[in-house]
A and B are shown apart, each in its own frame.
Chain A
Amino acid sequence: MELNLNVNGRNRSVTCRANATLVDVLREQLNLTGAHVGCDTSQCGACTVHLNGDAVKACTILAAQCDGQAILTIEGLSSVDGHHPMQAAFKNCHALQCGFCTPGMIMSAIDLVQKNDDLTEAQIREQLEGNLCRCTGYQNIAAAVAEGASAMKEAGQ
């Protein structure tokens, strides 16, 4: 089927199977491999992207459901002149090791911070339940989300 997607600010036309998931289309057809597939039960969150400003697990939504809508992936976060404050916070806090969960984690974190003010560490940890990381023990991720939240606030994001 034919779909029109706005991906990272660009209009893209794709032809895909009716049962293709959003992450299939992003990875296989648009070559946006930042969203990763870490499970088959919608549990790990490595494929998290934004759909019209909301974090979604791209393995659990059909591409067809996204027709005509706006998708933001990890690749769309950075500008030529720098990283998004949440990306910078993840590096600054050593919040990643193997990096496989990182794109999904960052996309979830941005959504979380955009929708909640003054998050406590406990709230951050609870809200990140949908994203698995096997490397970091989450401690530096929680710190990065807090630092990224402050930086986003300062930047008016």
Chain B
Amino acid sequence: MSEGIGQRVLRKEDGRFITGKGRYTDDIKQVGQTFAYFVRSPHAHASVNGINIDAALAAPGVIAVLTGADVTADGLGGLPCGWMIHSKDGSEMKQPHHPVLADTKVNYLGEPVAMVIADSALEAKNAAELVEVDWQELDAVVFAGAAQSATAIYPEIANNTCYEWSLGDGDAVEAAMANAAHVTHIEITNNRLIPNAMEPRAALAEYNPGSDELTLHTTSQNPHLTRLILTAFVQIAPEHKLRVIAPDVGGGFGSKIFVYSEETALAWAAKKLGLTIKWTAERSEAFLADAHGRDHVTTADLAMDEAGNFLAFKVKTIANMGAYLSTFASSVPTYLYGTLLAGQYRTPAIYVEVDSVFTNTAPVDAYRGAGRPEATYLLERIVTKAAVELGRDPADLRRQNFIGKDQFPYETPVALTYDIGDYEASLDKALDLADYAGFGARKEAAAAKGKLRGIGLSCYIEACGLAPSQVAGALGAGVGLWESGEVRVNPTGSISVLTGSHSHGQGHETTFAQLIADKLGVPVDDVDVVHGDTGKLDFGLGTYGSRSLAVGGSALVNAADKVIEKGRLIAAHLLRTDPENIEFEAPVYQMKNSNESKTFQEIAFAAYVNHDYPENLEPGLAEKAFYDPGNFTYPAGTHICEVEIDPETGVTEIVQFVAVDDFGNLINPMIVEGQVHGGIAQGIGQAMLEQAVYDDSGQLVTGSYMDYCMPRADDLPTFVVGMTCTPCTHNPLGAKGCGEAGAIGSPPAVINAILNAVGETDMNMPATPERVWALVQRSATKAA
């Protein structure tokens, strides 16, 4: 079939987006809607001695002004963090109260303290300027590395430390280090990023006092989780009276997983005041108050024997949590980071310590890759540095230490068991596509025109498909991490597929339709995918961690299998035979040893227009499944970057970028390649352009697109994308997930290439022309 599994089917959802008919939250307009604007802290750290709302209330169009004191008076719960981490001494992580609106103290720049509700957005914004807040500025703690020795932000949290976590066998690592022939040491930072989905966060809350129903349209990657938190923790409305809808969502990259103050305040205010209220973030607000990503400071040592075999890896990381624990923040530098430090290698002993600290900055949480880019960046930088120190080819040193393809399942020293992989296959394919062997000649040619040319590798692995619920629960996850799916066959044979996964650019409406069309033998156009609405779906855990196909897709496969089995019963009844005499070869139910058959469409019709069903056969043809994975999935691959640097200016051009990925089986290669492109673009952004910069007082220096350097079309090369395939062994699709790999694999490849060009081993991201120029000068000074 030309549109089944593995085909490059054009996206079903594109029709509405290319015509301007997408329906994003801010596009939705309700009769009588009012508008909110948030009053935010202009300080990183300050006491709120009082708020005078009189002038704002008297301003034109203003309906209400609500403050943190109102939140406190109404007894709203705080915004919770869903993952409990224990310190190495067994104590629970420290979690400061995260208020919906700050009452007596603000802890980061941009933290909301009040909301103004007015008839128009402009009136709300103008009146917000009339809210008088009596601030008393306090010293700010800004940088992760300085947090533990600074004055405590929260009196009850010593050393501003959330937890001191560790994983692995520290004694084994120390013993191996002591006997190593060579130890490579590295000190690196992982630069703080701001996600910047192109659609800013927005929400529209409507309350119907007659039915006590509250409806929240919001920019969410997981509307059921939003509903659960607003219900069970913040206690705004009972779950059956709260409907959360995430309509078209303009990108997320992690930042729209979390439950934030603004959306929560909007839902609370709508119910409290009986209003319909809309809020759409300005981009400046997104910079200040969306959860940021990364922000690690790390030292590490890699021990090797004389032959270059990795013996031990020791890591100490300080991770910045920002001012509060965002929804999944605590898991990112621990179970999504420390567990990935084995990479693709057989390193027998690994020990990692992570101290997560509070600072007076915006909360930091999962951003595309979430922990895995930080692990990969560290590991692939230190492995390349080791190769340089040992005088080894970086590809050869990697190959020597790879887990062999016959060694799976492979249990790492950091709590994961990789089910399958073939790391040499992806390395070899990447070396071939990059013409690695011909690099020397290209370097010479570049030198002849005054350019420095360098090549860099990165062999990444990630753990996706979160997660086996039992494992996740044992590690501290507050929820199970399965996914739900439903296949509803209509009487005429068209199909509605309902999924708990959420698409905000990933193309589920096409991929999932392909999947079900292939299973049941119906045209893709006859399958529609429904997602993102708690009013339509039982429950779902949403989209993050490259889990949608591996977990959500697997649930749909199981639901479709149930539909096929139900159809078999109907076919057997219609053909007056036993179900075991019926074979299904999409789209036909065939009676064995007979010419008699029924099409899937005939069965669908018969399922609803039954007149003579036996007692044990229920009418209808709709089945649900909940799928809880047996393990994580482990996408892996090799990225190779080649750069040319102008030594006079430090301007670096990526002249070639090759990515070879093993995502297991692919449903739609066109969509997968698109995910890879986008991920690499964000990875190159991190490596060369992007950094969130706070000054010493906690003011955000990079607070707009004028200051925060987003990748633009002419900053990026044309990517060469290749695939290898070892199908995942434990889900019915053999799929691993592809959403984050680009952002995980690419940053170290870029930096390794720049360092290779200059002949250095240490630099920090982003590799701006100024930094690269300084690196060139440093290298030249040493050479002289």
Real binding pair = yes
Interface residues of A (CB under 8 A from B): 17, 27, 31-41, 43-44, 46, 73-75, 77-78, 83, 87-88, 90-92, 94, 96-103, 106, 121-122, 124-126, 128-129, 131-142
Chain B CB within 10 Å, residue with most, of A17, A35, A98: A98
Chain A minimum-CB-distance residue to B249:
A98
A78 in complex: contacting residue of B19, B199, B670, CB < 8 Å: B19
State the CA gap A37–B200 with chains docked (Å): 8
Across the interface, which residues of A come within 8 angstroms of B280, CB to CB? Answer: 37
Chain A minimum-CB-distance residue to B368:
A134
**Do B712 and A40 touch across chains, with their CB atoms under 8 A apart?**
no
State the CA gap A105–B711 with chains docked (Å): 15
Across the interface, which residues of B come within 8 angstroms of A136, CB to CB? Answer: 674, 677-678, 681
State the CA gap A41–B285 with chains docked (Å): 12
**Do B251 and A94 touch across chains, with their CB atoms under 8 A apart?**
no
Across the interface, which residues of B come within 8 angstroms of A41, CB to CB? Answer: 283, 704-706
Across the interface, which residues of B come within 8 angstroms of A133, CB to CB? Answer: 198, 713
Chain B minimum-CB-distance residue to A103:
B20
Interface residues of B (CB under 8 A from A): 10-11, 13-24, 26-27, 29, 122, 196-200, 248-251, 253, 280, 282-284, 504-507, 670-671, 673-674, 677-682, 704-706, 710-714, 716, 718-719, 742
Knowing A100-B24, A142-B713 are in contact, say whether A134-B253 is a contact too (CB < 8 A): yes
Knowing A83-B19, A140-B677 are in contact, say whether A98-B11 is a contact too (CB < 8 A): no
**Do B505 and A135 touch across chains, with their CB atoms under 8 A apart?**
yes
Knowing A41-B705, A43-B705 are in contact, say whether A106-B18 is a contact too (CB < 8 A): yes
**Do A97 and B507 touch across chains, with their CB atoms under 8 A apart?**
yes
**Do B197 and A134 touch across chains, with their CB atoms under 8 A apart?**
yes
- By Cβ-Cβ distance, the 5 closest A-B pairs, closest first, are A34-B20, A99-B17, A100-B250, A98-B505, A137-B681
Chain B minimum-CB-distance residue to A83:
B18
Across the interface, which residues of B come within 8 angstroms of A106, CB to CB? Answer: 18
Across the interface, which residues of A come within 8 angstroms of B122, CB to CB? Answer: 17
**Do B19 and A87 touch across chains, with their CB atoms under 8 A apart?**
yes
**Do A96 and B18 touch across chains, with their CB atoms under 8 A apart?**
yes
**Do A74 and B20 touch across chains, with their CB atoms under 8 A apart?**
yes
B682 in complex: contacting residue of A99, A134, A141, CB < 8 Å: A134
Across the interface, which residues of A come within 8 angstroms of B26, CB to CB? Answer: 27, 33, 36-37
State the CA gap A104–B249 with chains docked (Å): 16
Chain B minimum-CB-distance residue to A88:
B18
Chain B minimum-CB-distance residue to A43:
B705
Chain A minimum-CB-distance residue to B679:
A137
Knowing A74-B20, A77-B19, A97-B506 are in contact, say whether A139-B716 is a contact too (CB < 8 A): yes
**Do A34 and B505 touch across chains, with their CB atoms under 8 A apart?**
no
State the CA gap A133–B677 with chains docked (Å): 12
Across the interface, which residues of B come within 8 angstroms of A126, CB to CB? Answer: 713-714
Across the interface, which residues of A come within 8 angstroms of B507, CB to CB? Answer: 97
A-B contact count (CB 8 A): 180
Q: Is the interface of A mostly helix, strand, loop or mixed?
A: loop
**Do A99 and B704 touch across chains, with their CB atoms under 8 A apart?**
no
Across the interface, which residues of A come within 8 angstroms of B248, CB to CB? Answer: 98-99
- Closest beta carbon of chain B to A9's beta carbon, Å: 15
**Do A91 and B11 touch across chains, with their CB atoms under 8 A apart?**
yes
- Closest beta carbon of chain A to B247's beta carbon, Å: 12
**Do A102 and B18 touch across chains, with their CB atoms under 8 A apart?**
yes
**Do B11 and A33 touch across chains, with their CB atoms under 8 A apart?**
no
Chain A CB within 10 Å, residue with most, of B197, B250, B280: B250
Across the interface, which residues of A come within 8 angstroms of B283, CB to CB? Answer: 38-41, 44
Chain B minimum-CB-distance residue to A129:
B712
Knowing A98-B198, A132-B198, A138-B716 are in contact, say whether A36-B284 is a contact too (CB < 8 A): no
Knowing A32-B20, A141-B713 are in contact, say whether A91-B15 is a contact too (CB < 8 A): yes
**Do B17 and A96 touch across chains, with their CB atoms under 8 A apart?**
yes
- Closest beta carbon of chain A to B255's beta carbon, Å: 10
Chain A minimum-CB-distance residue to B195:
A134
B21 in complex: contacting residue of A34, A37, A121, CB < 8 Å: A34
**Do A100 and B11 touch across chains, with their CB atoms under 8 A apart?**
no
State the CA gap A73–B673 with chains docked (Å): 30
Across the interface, which residues of A come within 8 angstroms of B705, CB to CB? Answer: 39, 41, 43-44, 132
**Do B20 and A139 touch across chains, with their CB atoms under 8 A apart?**
no
**Do A121 and B718 touch across chains, with their CB atoms under 8 A apart?**
yes
**Do B712 and A139 touch across chains, with their CB atoms under 8 A apart?**
no
**Do A137 and B250 touch across chains, with their CB atoms under 8 A apart?**
no
Chain B minimum-CB-distance residue to A33:
B27
Chain A minimum-CB-distance residue to B17:
A99
State the CA gap A129–B753 with chains docked (Å): 25
- Closest beta carbon of chain B to A138's beta carbon, Å: 4
Knowing A94-B670, A98-B197, A138-B681 are in contact, say whether A128-B712 is a contact too (CB < 8 A): yes
- Closest beta carbon of chain B to A133's beta carbon, Å: 7
State the CA gap A26–B33 with chains docked (Å): 18
A99 in complex: contacting residue of B250, B712, B742, CB < 8 Å: B250
Chain B CB within 10 Å, residue with most, of A34, A83, A92, A137: A137
B198 in complex: contacting residue of A34, A46, A83, A87, CB < 8 Å: A46
State the CA gap A94–B26 with chains docked (Å): 25
Chain B CB within 10 Å, residue with most, of A32, A75, A103: A103
Across the interface, which residues of B come within 8 angstroms of A128, CB to CB? Answer: 712-714
Chain B minimum-CB-distance residue to A35:
B20
**Do B671 and A138 touch across chains, with their CB atoms under 8 A apart?**
no
Across the interface, which residues of B come within 8 angstroms of A32, CB to CB? Answer: 20
**Do B14 and A96 touch across chains, with their CB atoms under 8 A apart?**
yes
- Closest beta carbon of chain B to A82's beta carbon, Å: 11
Chain A minimum-CB-distance residue to B681:
A137
B19 in complex: contacting residue of A37, A46, A75, A129, CB < 8 Å: A75
**Do B505 and A97 touch across chains, with their CB atoms under 8 A apart?**
yes
Across the interface, which residues of A come within 8 angstroms of B505, CB to CB? Answer: 97-99, 135
B714 in complex: contacting residue of A88, A125, A137, CB < 8 Å: A125
- Closest beta carbon of chain A to B706's beta carbon, Å: 5
**Do B674 and A97 touch across chains, with their CB atoms under 8 A apart?**
yes
State the CA gap A70–B338 with chains docked (Å): 58
B11 in complex: contacting residue of A94, A103, A124, A131, CB < 8 Å: A94
**Do A98 and B714 touch across chains, with their CB atoms under 8 A apart?**
no
Chain B minimum-CB-distance residue to A34:
B20
Across the interface, which residues of B come within 8 angstroms of A73, CB to CB? Answer: 20
Chain B CB within 10 Å, residue with most, of A73, A96, A122, A141: A96
State the CA gap A90–B17 with chains docked (Å): 10
Across the interface, which residues of B come within 8 angstroms of A101, CB to CB? Answer: 198, 250
State the CA gap A94–B675 with chains docked (Å): 11
Chain B minimum-CB-distance residue to A99:
B17
**Do B282 and A40 touch across chains, with their CB atoms under 8 A apart?**
yes
Across the interface, which residues of A come within 8 angstroms of B196, CB to CB? Answer: 134
- Closest beta carbon of chain A to B366's beta carbon, Å: 16
Across the interface, which residues of B come within 8 angstroms of A37, CB to CB? Answer: 26, 200, 280
- Closest beta carbon of chain B to A118's beta carbon, Å: 18
Across the interface, which residues of B come within 8 angstroms of A125, CB to CB? Answer: 713-714, 716
State the CA gap A39–B673 with chains docked (Å): 28
**Do B714 and A129 touch across chains, with their CB atoms under 8 A apart?**
yes
State the CA gap A28–B40 with chains docked (Å): 26
Across the interface, which residues of A come within 8 angstroms of B17, CB to CB? Answer: 96, 99, 102-103
Chain A CB within 10 Å, residue with most, of B14, B283, B677, B719: B14
Across the interface, which residues of B come within 8 angstroms of A77, CB to CB? Answer: 19
B704 in complex: contacting residue of A17, A36, A39, A78, CB < 8 Å: A39
Chain A CB within 10 Å, residue with most, of B20, B200, B670, B671: B20
Chain A CB within 10 Å, residue with most, of B11, B19, B196, B742: B19
State the CA gap A137–B675 with chains docked (Å): 9
- Closest beta carbon of chain A to B143's beta carbon, Å: 27
A135 in complex: contacting residue of B16, B18, B251, B719, CB < 8 Å: B251
State the CA gap A136–B742 with chains docked (Å): 11
Across the interface, which residues of B come within 8 angstroms of A74, CB to CB? Answer: 18-20
A100 in complex: contacting residue of B251, B282, B711, B716, CB < 8 Å: B251
Across the interface, which residues of A come within 8 angstroms of B504, CB to CB? Answer: 98
- Closest beta carbon of chain A to B202's beta carbon, Å: 10
Chain B minimum-CB-distance residue to A101:
B198
23 residue pairs of the A-B complex, CB under 8 angstroms, read A27-B26, A33-B26, A34-B21, A36-B250, A78-B19, A87-B19, A88-B18, A91-B10, A92-B10, A98-B199, A98-B505, A99-B505, A100-B24, A103-B18, A122-B714, A129-B712, A132-B705, A134-B197, A135-B505, A137-B678, A137-B742, A138-B681, A139-B719
